[in-house]
Every structure is written in structure tokens, then in C-alpha cells.
Amino acid sequence: MRLLIVGSLDGHITAAGKIAISRGAKVAHVDDVDQALHALRNGQGADLIMFDVVLDIQRMIDSLRNERINIPVVACGIGTSAETAVKAIKAGAKEYVPLPPDAELIAAVLAAVAEESSALIYKDPAMKAVLKLADQVAPSDASILITGESGTGKEVMARYIHAHSKRAGKPFISVNCAAIPENLLESELFGHEKGSFTGAIARRIGKFEEANGGTLLLDEISEMHPRLQAKLLRAIQERVIDRVGGTQPVKVDLRLLATSNRDLQEEVRKGNFRDDLYFRLNVMSLELPALRHRPLDIPVLAEHFAKKYADANGVRITGITPDVMDTLRAHEWRGNVRELENTMHRAVLLAQESEIGPEAILLTGGRGIPVTALQPQSAAASAAPAAAKAANGVTSALVGRTVAAVERDLIIDTLQHCLGNRTHAANILGISIRTLRNKLKQYNEEGVPVPGAAHSEGDHFSAA
């Protein structure tokens, strides 16, 4: 865990730093926003930022977002002013921590960040077999290709491999190749010099240099343009990169991991992916099973997510009813663990009792209607005509509308369901992230309200 403290924290820097260090964090300190951005642009990575609210937190978070630096920010300030806390949260802070720092509170924040990125929860033999293989290959420096459907936890598996490797004490850097526009991905990976292109306001170290000594994950590498694949191949083969606009090659030492939700061999046959790059990446391959193929994991993950979101929302949840658990086991889970997490998040918010019941379960594709198949057989039978009538009503409602209008509503509804996360929505819709971006750009130009983008698009076993 790498912690960057920004500001004086009203004189409590030493105390906060000592608490974090005692919990295993590596702590760095800068005085203001400019110094923080300079450090991050130049490869001083961080897993969490503690930010003094007397500084301009809105500028800090906007700058991180504009420069695609995805680090959670925790605001800190004297006292427990509700107004100050709300302002910080509205600006984009993940949490507000009052000062002077409380050891247990800071420990909880650090633990939450660590758990969010590396939690690995499983029980099914199918996952145990994958983990056994991962344990065998983790200590090596071999490149590993991690495959599986969207939402199965490929990034968490990558973090697990890093944590069990000889580079565990070094940085783990992840780049989502699907979430970054093609014209910016080269700069994101290899860095750039000031003025090398429009918007290059300062020199910035790329992810290859930031990961030096550690592990670099190229998430959803199948989305990378073939032109950039050639430059990536050279970097892997020669362990040398060139910054955009730079004149001197830079040596790097890192382990490379990659993930894909596509069949890369098929992409090679289609000419979308270089075969030489595929063989460079695929020294070892790990395929993660879909959630429907690991049924014993469904109950433990559901309970984990229920507790997680109950704690986060201050809701008392004591358990999940057996009928609901049966329904969860029977569902197809096309979005895998990520879809299950969203389902349990909604369930916590909608639960009418301390135990999550049928009224709180909205499965994907349900159009916002709670599960009704959990009723006793006689009740379900009596409800069948009403259900059929409702289904006919939905179909009738589509008559007279254009395909474009129906498609627009489906895309917007799915994006709302994914809380604005473009990558998740594209996966559920079965379209590329580029296609989704183009559609949303069109809707914006037409004046159609589009849900805002999520700040983080991570992928993990327990929060996939």
C-alpha cells in the first residue's frame, strides 16, 4: 500500500504517517496540488491519497480525472463539520476522515482500499484448481495471459499473482486498454514529453516506467489497436520504451500480465491481433471459469457483498433468505461476479427487512421489477396470466417505435444499471467500448441525458 499525503493536515502529518506506516503502508508527503501532480506524473505512484481539505480538492480530483490518474482520494480536516465533509465528497473524495487522526479509522480506510483491489473469495473446486496453478507460476517472471468472460475477476487474479511473486514489494500498475481512447493509450503506456501533442501540458512518465521493478497489467489487451501492438512487442522483447516525443530510449524491468475476455487465437486468425505478440504474452495461460460454472461461489460471494454494502450504507442486514439464495444459484449471471455484486448492492438498498427477501432482488434484464418467481407454487400459478399480460404489454409498448429509439433506451437503461460504468455496460450490451462511446456522444449531441462516467472501472473476484 502506497500512501501519498497532500498538505499539512493541520500539523497532524507525523501522526497520520506513523499510523499508516504501522499498518504496512509506504508513505510520501507533498505540500500542495502542484507538487502532488508533479510526483504522480513522474512515476511516484500511489494507491491512496490523503488530502488536506484546506487545499483545492476539486482541482486535485479534476486534474487526476483529466490526466487519467485513477487513485482514490480521502479528504482530511479538523473536526467533523458536515458541510466540509459533504463538500469534499461532492468534489469526488471517497471518504472524509476527521483530524486529529484516529488509528482505527485510518486503518479501516487503508484496509478498505487493499480489500477493494485484492479480495479473492472462492469456495468452488473450479476456482481452487485455477488458484493452484496460479500459485505454481506466480514466483516466476513469465508473462501470463489471463482469460475469461467479463466480470470473472481477471484483474484480481493478476493482483494475486503479483502478491505471490518475487516482485510483491514493488508497484503493481494496471492499464485498462478498453477504457482509454486509442489516441491516448500510447501516451498512457509509454509516457510523453511536454508539448509532444495537444494537451501534453507537462512531461509525464508512462505506466511502463511507473511499473519498473514491479508488475504491469494490460487489462483487455485485445482492444489495443494493431499499430500500438507493434510498439508493445518491441517493449516486451527489448525491455526498452520510447516516450511520445522523446529522443532517448528508456530501459525498464518489469513483469507483464495481460487479460482478455475474447478468444485471442480467433482474433489472431481474423487479423485483429498480432500472432508474434500473442505468443510473447502467452508464455502461461490461466482461464477463469464463469460464475455459472462455479456455483459454490455464489452463496459466499452474495453474503460477502451483502455485508460489504450493508456496512457502507449503514444498513442492518442479518442474512439472505433460502428462496433468494436458490434464485441466485439458478440465474445465468452473464455479467458474472460483477453482475452479482450489482444485484446484492441493489438488494441491500431495497431490503424491507433485516434479511434480504424476494422483494429486494432485481436480476439483470428484469426492467426494474422484483423477482416474483419466489412465491409459493399456487400463488405463482395464479400470477401467470398477469405475468403474461405484463409481458404482452412490454412488447406492445415497442410497436410504433424506431429501432434506434429502442436501442437508445436500452443503452441508457443499461448504463444506469451499471452506475455509469462504460466498460461494464459495453460488456453487458455485447458491444465494444468504442461503439458505446460513439453512441453516447451521439445522444449527448441530440440532447439526451447520459449518466455520468464512473470514476473507477476495476475488475475483481469479490467486486467484479
Whole-model pTM above 0.85? no
DSSP codes, 136-168: HHTTS---EEEE-STTS-HHHHHHHHHHTSTTT
CA 142 from centre of chain: 25
Query: How far apart are the C-alpha atoms of 1 and 150, rounded to whole Å?
Result: 27
Whether the Cβ atoms of residue 208 and residue 228 lie closer than 8 Å to each other: no
Taking only the tens of pLDDT, the chain with its 464 residues reads 788 999 988 788 778 888 888 877 888 999 999 999 988 887 777 888 999 988 999 999 999 888 878 888 988 888 666 778 888 888 888 888 888 877 777 777 776 666 555 568 889 999 999 999 999 999 999 999 999 999 999 999 999 999 899 998 888 999 999 888 877 898 889 988 887 777 777 788 889 998 999 999 999 999 998 889 999 999 999 999 988 888 888 999 999 999 999 999 999 999 999 999 999 999 999 999 999 999 999 999 999 999 988 887 788 999 999 999 999 999 999 999 989 988 998 999 888 899 999 999 988 754 444 554 444 444 344 444 444 444 454 445 556 667 777 788 888 888 877 777 787 777 777 787 778 888 888 888 888 888 776 544 444 454 34
Query: How far apart are the C-alpha atoms of 151 and 261, rounded to whole Å?
Result: 9
Each residue of 249-277: b (16+ CB within 10 Å) or e?
ebebebbbbbbbbbebeebbeeebbbeeb
Query: How far apart are the C-alpha atoms of 259 and 167, rounded to whole Å?
Result: 19
Considering the four listed CATH numbers 3.40.50.720, 3.40.50.300, 3.30.70.3420, 3.40.50.2300, the one that applies to the domain covering 2-118 is 3.40.50.2300
Query: How far apart are the C-alpha atoms of 3 and 45, rounded to whole Å?
Result: 9
CATH code of the domain occupying 400-464 = 1.10.10.60
Whether the Cβ atoms of residue 243 and residue 204 lie closer than 8 Å to each other: no
Calculate the dihedral angle through the C-alpha atoms of 244, 250, 254, 257, rounding to the nearest 10 degrees.
20
Domain with CATH 1.10.10.60 in the chain: 400-464
Q: Which fold has domain 295-382?
A: Helicase, Ruva Protein; domain 3 (1.10.8)
Considering the four listed CATH numbers 3.40.50.720, 3.30.1300.10, 2.40.30.10, 3.40.50.300, the one that applies to the domain covering 125-289 is 3.40.50.300
DSSP 203: -
Each residue of 66-95: b (16+ CB within 10 Å) or e?
ebbbebbbbbbbbeeeeebbebbeebbbbb
